[in-house]
Amino acid sequence: MKEKLALLLILAIPCSLFAQQKFKIDLSSPSLINKSLILAPSPWVKELKGLYCLNLDTNKNIIDFCKNNGFEKSVYQITVQEKNSIRGEFAYPVPVTFQFVDPENNQLHLSSKFFLDSGSYKIDLPKVLRRCDINLNSPVNNEYADFKKLFVDFYISQDKLFDSLTNLAEKENRVASYIRKNPDSYVALWEIIDDYFTHDYVPVYLENLRLFSASMKTSKLFTTFEGILKHDSSSNKGNKFELERSVVAGSLFPEIDFDGRNMLTKEDFKKSELTLIDCWATWCGYCVKAMPGVVALYNEYKDLGVNFISVALENDPKKIKLANEILKKNNVKWKNYFDIKKDFNDKVGVVAIPLLFLVDQNGKIVERVNSADIDFIKKTIDDYLRNEKNE
């Protein structure tokens, strides 16, 4: 109880109590004149409110998007003009992106992540914003450019918008090495926050936080995030990490009661040589974008003894309706369950999604894949079916 109260007190501390730094951006984007552009922190996630000490000067063309929509975040909507002067202040460097949703095809365009740093800068956005690079010549952004190079071999491009991390554990080892040499790095701290948002809680984040300098540990960003992690470490998320390590290849897949009526038992696995279980959610952009790849796998293997099952981590009627719309749009023809009772979530230790399982006829897990790496899953299926045929 005391820990929760302390966390609430930390989150309640207003950003105005911390030293503010000012910035100015002269923005040019001829292709988006009179259209709405979003400037949003990255990662943009509601559970981490209180971390983004960012305030823009508002006017008729720059509005506080979240304030107008009842959110407690730092997200701003910019109606682009021929000349755009974006001014504001922040308590510490904040990673942001420019975002634009094309109304013609509802496609999200997302710039690369960059840091707001004190000073004046000029940004010329290209006609195609999707994944365009924002390169600002500032101390923090120059550090970030070098920092990203440390992990380039751990990311694979899955589509034009998102990249997939292949080795979180080794990445955090490299983050730790970097912090030892740069204990005052906001860039490194934000990278841990980004990994937390993307992959959920793992204990190594707390271990890496201990490596920062004494002065860094007094910053609002550090104390707020540390409080969130400590709360997670003593909650069910900490237990889920231990469970995740036990429900792996070689172990039996647990029996699941989704809603009191629909069950997943070992009998369901006996009907096929191999079963692929795809765990997803409507709020997981990676999951939704990976769905066409899973559909392609289904079409290739449905007649070769491979069964497909999806599990949506949703129990809200509105989210279930949205999930069904997404499934229909992607032409998903296999059975999808909704984790109404959160039995799946609790029993398999879901700490990050996309999450896929390959399970054999005996209910034994062949592979647990904490990503939507379709090529790896395809290779695993091929190897398994080939070995079964040869035996």
The DSSP string of 14-82 is -GGGS--EEEEEEEE-GGGTTSEEEEEESS--GGGTTS--EEEPP-SSEEEHHHHTT--S--EEEE--S
CB–CB of 33/86 below 8 Å?
no
- With cut-offs at 50, 70 and 90, classify the pLDDT of residue 49: low
pLDDT digits (tens, 9 = 90+) for 343-356: 888 888 776 677 88
Residue 277 has pLDDT above 50, yes or no: yes
pLDDT of residue 138: 93
pLDDT of residue 2: 36
Of 172, 258, 179, the closest CA to residue 212 belongs to 179
pLDDT of residue 184: 97
3-state secondary structure at position 109:
strand
Which whole number is the average pLDDT over 6-14?
A: 38
Residue 9 has pLDDT above 50, yes or no: no
pLDDT of residue 10: 34
Work out whether strand 94-102 and strand 107-110 pair parallel, antiparallel, or are unpaired: antiparallel
Pick the range with the lowest mean pLDDT from 9-13, 69-73, 213-217: 9-13
pLDDT digits (tens, 9 = 90+) for 76-124: 999 999 999 999 999 899 999 998 887 777 677 888 899 999 999 999 9
Which whole number is the average pLDDT over 156-161?
A: 55
Token duo for residue 309: 């099952």
- With cut-offs at 50, 70 and 90, classify the pLDDT of residue 3: very low
CA dist 168 and 149 (Å) reads 15
CB–CB of 100/114 below 8 Å?
no
Token duo for residue 48: 């981490």
- With cut-offs at 50, 70 and 90, classify the pLDDT of residue 70: low
pLDDT of residue 1: 35
Domain ranges of the chain: 2-234, 250-390
Residue with tokens 């889920």: 240
At residue 18, what are phi and psi to the nearest 5 degrees?
-105, 155
Pick the range with the lowest mean pLDDT from 22-26, 32-36, 221-225, 313-317: 313-317
Which whole number is the average pLDDT over 33-52?
A: 74
Token duo for residue 387: 């070995």
- Tell me the whole-structure pTM to 2 decimals: 0.60
CA dist 138 and 96 (Å) reads 15
Most confident region among 41-45, 142-146, 158-162, 348-352 by mean pLDDT:
142-146
Residue 309 has pLDDT above 70, yes or no: yes
Mean pLDDT for the chain? 83
pLDDT of residue 12: 39
pLDDT of residue 157: 64
pLDDT of residue 315: 87
Based on DSSP, count helices (H) and strands (E) in the chain, helices before strands: 13, 19
Residue 337 has pLDDT above 60, yes or no: yes
- With cut-offs at 50, 70 and 90, classify the pLDDT of residue 160: very low
% pLDDT > 90, the chain:
42
- Write down the CATH superfamily of domain 250-390: Glutaredoxin (3.40.30.10)
Token duo for residue 34: 């009179």
- With cut-offs at 50, 70 and 90, classify the pLDDT of residue 269: very high
